[in-house]
Chain A
Amino acid sequence: MSDKKARSQGAVQTTGHAWDGDIQEFNNPLPTWWLWAFYATVVFALIYWVLYPAWPVGGSFTKGLFNDITFVDSDGSVKTTHWNTRALLIRDLKEGEEARLSAEYMSKVADASYAQILADPEMMAYTRSVAKGLFGDNCAACHGSGGQGVIGLFPNLADDAWLWGGSIDQIHKTIAEGRYGFMPAFRDTFNDKQLRDVASYVLSLSGNKVDNAARARGEKIFQTQEGGCHYCHTPAGTGLKSQGAADLTDQIWTIADVNGTDDPAVKLERVEKVISGGVQRQMPHWSERLTPAQIKLLTVYVHELGGGQ
């Protein structure tokens, strides 16, 4: 039997130990090539150390051989460096297949008119995906990632109220040239009673229930030279877009948080505070920081957020 076992690969050896007379231990040694496969991984590591950045040396590290990456940096200069994923990423962002496709779309959008973009679902989808990033980088710090703004500080871009106008041209102008919104403070002009009267009138414009006598007194101040409010907010209260004056007749409040409370006294107080303290807001101009194409994308994006005009 023994020579047959030796011939057959299925035979299992024992370690030669025997306990209690007949208990033996199987021996299944690893195949030798397994050991060689382990040595092969060691050789692989050695080659890797030579070719790629590997070992820390003092404050630096070994850079590897034959692995230069040449890429165009963000400032336009051509740089060559040892292999690293950051350089690879920069190169791919500039020269990769996706970058090429994106550049193709970008030039298509840059050449198209606003009317063409708005009517083309593909260009709109491209605009939304790219401008979302631009908006996040440049606009979201104030206006919020979805353009929802902050009441009292930064206007909501996702609703349908446009302080400076919601047409494509007006939005473009706002982004490119910036805006400076100003309402004088009336704390030195009006006494407390007058402030309450004007606030009552302002609240009544959008359908809030207020004291009728106060409303009538406030209307007089609003519509005459005594307050002069109508110059910017117009006699109807709808606001001059050229001045960035708010529409007081709608349900949107960008400075005083009127919708945030159900208590009429608190509403009144919040409006009074705005009249008393005035408003001063500024949006920087972006024509020097963004390319015309980027401003175009952002214009369409912001226009689409709230539905545009």
Chain B
Amino acid sequence: MADAGAQPLYQARIPIYTRSVKGRFRNLKWGILGLAYSVYFLLPWLRWERNVGPDQAVLFDISARKFYLFDLVVHAQDLFWLAGFLVIAALLLFFVTGIAGRVFCGYFCFQTLWTDLYMLIERLVQGDRVARIRLDKAPWSAAKLLRKGLTHFLWLLAAFLTGLTFTLYWEDAPRLIVDWFTGKAPFAAYATTLFLTATTYVMAGLAREQVCTYMCPYARFQSVMFDADTRIVAYDVSRGEAGRGRHRVTRELKSREQRQAQGVGECIDCGYCVQVCPTGIDIRDGLQVQCISCALCIDACGTIMDSLGWGKSLIGYTSEKQAAGLPSRLWKPRTVAYGLVLLGAIAALVWSVGNQAPLELSVVQLRQPLFVRLSDGRIQNSYELHMENKTDEPVQVAIMMRGLAGAQLDLGKLDSVELPPQRALHVLARVRWGSSRDTKGSRGFAFNIVPQRRDELGMISAPATFYLPGVDY
């Protein structure tokens, strides 16, 4: 155990100074980033005309228990759609990861998107990799303070806008933003904004690849979905290393022919692929747990190979099998199964959303008391009818019952009620039945609500049970 003390208990982060790169994948990622940011930052400001409800296209109204998504209004009891959406998201992740690896991590994850933005800010203020390394090593000066300060200020500003935008999804955006800056917004709005400002700043500005390596569970369990046919970002070892390995360009090893003659690979060991890596790994060591498949090393090597005129990038999307020269299959039973289940889940959700009932009725039996005997010997059961109108128009409905011959339905003065648009209403119904004292047990029947002058809505029915005395329930 004598040498245990020599081992550090904690591992300091090795700073990563990413170098900028241009190329096909970088452009694709900028495109995705632009699109995602446009949606995220602009969506709360999109107005939408509705007969009833707010004029915001996307609004999650917690206090009214309604989610507004363009023309779709998600009510509290429709929240299982969220479960369906999450199932689809999970299946999509399994499906895509099985085929193409960590596509989500590299192109779509908000950690990647925001880190990209923060790196862009860093580069615009402090310069590229070498300039940043030099700045960090330089003693503190006014110029250094200004550059560092400006970077952190812009990071915080971006974080604040991110947090503020998130809160705009939960309230009327134009009103909330005025309230926010005049101190009239609810506490939750300030708390959420500041919390997300802090987390965005810390995660995208300071923690970066540490989030992917140490915190993120998806990063780890995506590895489980990999197999030898999964597309991964990999280095072409046979071409890059050839027989004697990589080597820098020297006078004797200048052209491809010279290198081939000496058995040296095409990798000139320039290190560009390592310098652009946001997680600081060397892809030439093979597939590693830190790799988020961002594909920037493909662009980096591509740039070098282009300038040398040696063909395409040494790093590219391939699979383990393909790299070993074996045939690689894209469609395997597992991916097909994922695909089918995914399509099934999407179809089920679309069907469910498309067939959202315009009117809803549910029946709650009053159980205290379950029944009472009336003066004429009949038995009375009481029910609370929960009716909901999900349309934008008021609907007049008649309340009826069916399936209990000779029963009397008493609704007080509310035999026919008007359901306000996008609102729920509870009505107490009393049912009287059973003149014979010998009748025991329970009987099933149904309540119906029949829209008046709105035939297209159709009759809504809900089952109920009538309980009689004489049996221990």
Interface size on B, residues (CB 8 A): 52
Q: Check if A156 is an interface residue, CB within 8 A of chain B.
A: yes
A35 to B372, CA, bound (A): 67
**Which residue of A30, A145, A161, A252 contacts B368 across the interface (Cβ within 8 Å)?**
A145
- A9 and B290: CB pair below 8 A? yes
Which of B6-14, B53-61, B220-228 makes up part of the contact surface?
B6-14
- B375 and A7: CB pair below 8 A? no
Residues of A within 8 A of B213 (CB): 9
Q: Check if B417 is an interface residue, CB within 8 A of chain A.
A: yes
Residues of B within 8 A of A15 (CB): 3-4, 7
A34 to B14, CA, bound (A): 14
| A10 touching B282 in the complex, CB below 8 Å, given contacts A125-B427, A160-B380 | yes
Residues of B within 8 A of A124 (CB): 412, 414, 427-428
Q: Check if A307 is an interface residue, CB within 8 A of chain B.
A: yes
- A146 and B368: CB pair below 8 A? yes
A107 to B105, CA, bound (A): 56
Closest-CB distance, B388 to chain A (whole angstroms): 12
- A31 and B374: CB pair below 8 A? no
- B425 and A121: CB pair below 8 A? yes
In A110-138, which residues have CB < 8 Å from any B CB?
118-119, 121-122, 124-125, 128-129
| A158 touching B412 in the complex, CB below 8 Å, given contacts A29-B8, A307-B430 | no
- B210 and A33: CB pair below 8 A? yes
Q: Check if A67 is an interface residue, CB within 8 A of chain B.
A: no
A128 to B410, CA, bound (A): 16
Residues of A within 8 A of B426 (CB): 125, 128-129
**Which residue of A4, A10, A148, A247 contacts B288 across the interface (Cβ within 8 Å)?**
A10
- B366 and A146: CB pair below 8 A? yes
Q: Check if B24 is an interface residue, CB within 8 A of chain A.
A: no
Residues of B within 8 A of A122 (CB): 420, 425
- A34 and B10: CB pair below 8 A? yes
A159 to B282, CA, bound (A): 82
**Which residue of A13, A121, A250 contacts B376 across the interface (Cβ within 8 Å)?**
A250
Residues of A within 8 A of B384 (CB): 128
Q: Check if A308 is an interface residue, CB within 8 A of chain B.
A: yes
Q: Check if A80 is an interface residue, CB within 8 A of chain B.
A: no
Q: Check if A74 is an interface residue, CB within 8 A of chain B.
A: no
**Which residue of B280, B366, B430 contacts A8 across the interface (Cβ within 8 Å)?**
B280
Residues of B within 8 A of A161 (CB): 374-375
Q: Which residues of A contact B (CB under 8 A)?
A: 4, 7-10, 13, 15-17, 27, 29-35, 97, 118-119, 121-122, 124-125, 128-129, 144-148, 156, 158-161, 247, 250-252, 259, 304-308
A-B contact pairs, 29 of them (CB 8 A): A9-B280, A9-B281, A10-B281, A10-B289, A13-B7, A15-B7, A16-B3, A29-B9, A30-B11, A34-B10, A97-B63, A118-B413, A119-B414, A121-B414, A121-B417, A121-B418, A121-B427, A128-B426, A128-B428, A144-B368, A144-B369, A146-B367, A147-B369, A159-B380, A250-B376, A251-B376, A251-B377, A252-B374, A307-B412
Q: Which residues of B contact A (CB under 8 A)?
A: 3-4, 6-14, 16, 63, 207, 209-210, 213-214, 274, 279-282, 285, 288-290, 366-369, 372-377, 380, 382, 384, 410, 412-414, 417-418, 420, 425-428, 430
